[in-house]
Amino acid sequence: MDGLILPLLLMLVVALPLVMSTRKQKKLMAEQQEMQNSLTAGDRVMTTSGLYATVADASDDTTIDLEIAEGVVTTWLRQAVRERIVADVDLDEDTVDTDATAAAKDESSEKANEGPQVAAPIEQSQK
d(CA 47, CA 67): 12
User: What is the model's pLDDT at position 96?
Assistant: 46
d(CA 14, CA 3): 18
User: What is the model's pLDDT at position 113?
Assistant: 57
Burial class (CB in 10 A: 0-12, 13-18, 19+), 71: exposed
Taking the chain (127 residues) in consecutive chunks of 10 residues, what is each chunk's mean pLDDT? Answer: 79 86 93 93 94 94 94 94 80 48 54 62 71
Are 101 and 91 in contact by the 8 Å Cβ rule? The answer is: no
d(CA 43, CA 56): 8
User: What is the model's pLDDT at position 72?
Assistant: 94
Are 109 and 70 in contact by the 8 Å Cβ rule? The answer is: no
| Report field, pTM of the whole predicted structure over 0.85 | no
Q: Where are the alpha helices (DSSP H) in the chain?
A: 2-37, 98-113
Are 64 and 81 in contact by the 8 Å Cβ rule? The answer is: yes
Which of 79, 72, 84 is CA-nearest to residue 43?
Answer: 84
Residue 79 CA neighbour count, 13 Å, CB half: 3
